């Protein structure tokens, strides 16, 4: 039976931290679905189509990755695709409480689905989408913070806002 993991997030934009976790998880599962959350609750810098394109370009070297978009509960999507695992990245201690709460809620809603936490590498644990947008707004170096294919669109987008 094919083992599928789902890695949900807003990916606005995808960072090198996200990419690292996806690469590492891709070695553990037959298929990893990068699930881009389409949430009306969040104000995004990039459209859902742009985020999907940037994720796709950033991960084009990985052959067992699929990119999907979903509105609604992640567990509903996970069930629909036949996955049993939700992957979440854990950067710092401050992420732990949020991830524990989300994991507990998902477990209550879907006891058959496990949440697996993957620790960020020390060289990426401080990177967040919010942080890289701030660096870009203030013309800082994006080297090592986002995949190469994200740099130009990010710089252009923050100039326009």
pLDDT in tens, 130-152: 999 999 999 999 999 999 999 99
CA 28, 35, 140: angle at the middle one, nearest 5? Answer: 95
Domain ranges in the chain?
A: 4-160
Identified catalytic residue from 2, 42, 138, 161: 42
pLDDT tens for 101-118 read 999 999 999 999 999 999
Stretch 24-35: mean pLDDT: 98
pTM, whole model, 2 decimals?
0.94
Portion of the chain with pLDDT greater than 70, in percent = 98
Give the pLDDT of residue 106: 96
- Does the active-site annotation cover 91? yes
Catalytic pick among 10, 18, 52, 70 = 18
Mean pLDDT value across residues 3-23: 97
Single out the catalytic residue among 51, 52, 91, 133: 91
Give the per-residue pLDDT at 161. Answer: 60
Give the β-pairing of 31-37 and 114-119. Answer: unpaired
| Candidate list 10, 26, 58, 129, residue with the active-site label | 129
User: What's the mean pLDDT in 18-35?
Assistant: 98
Name residues whose C-beta falls within 8 Å of residue 54's C-beta, 6 or more positions apart in sequence. Answer: 11, 13, 14, 46, 147, 149, 150, 153
Answer yes or no: is pLDDT of 74 > 90.
Answer: yes
Q: Is residue 40 pLDDT above 70, yes or no?
A: no
Non-local (6+) Cβ contacts of 59 within 8 A are: 19, 22, 23, 34, 65, 67
Name the fold adopted by 4-160: Rossmann fold (3.40.50)
Is 129 part of the annotated catalytic residue set? yes
């Amino acid at each position: 039976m094919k083992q599928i993991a789902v890695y949900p997030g807003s990916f606005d934009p995808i960072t090198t931290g996200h990419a690292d976790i996806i690469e590492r998880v891709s070695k553990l599962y037959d298929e990893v679905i990068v699930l881009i959350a389409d949430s009306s609750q969040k104000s995004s810098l990039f459209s859902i189509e742009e985020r999907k394109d940037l994720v796709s370009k950033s991960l084009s070297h990985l052959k067992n990755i699929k990119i999907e978009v979903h509105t609604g509960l992640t567990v509903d999507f996970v069930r629909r695709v036949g996955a049993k695992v939700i992957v979440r990245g854990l950067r710092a201690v401050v992420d732990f409480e949020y991830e524990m709460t989300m994991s507990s809620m998902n477990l209550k809603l879907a006891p058959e689905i496990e949440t697996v936490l993957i620790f960020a590498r020390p060289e990426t644990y401080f990177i967040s989408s919010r942080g890289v947008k701030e660096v870009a707004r203030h013309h800082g170096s994006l080297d090592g913070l986002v995949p190469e294919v994200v740099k130009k669109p990010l710089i252009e987008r923050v100039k326009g806002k």
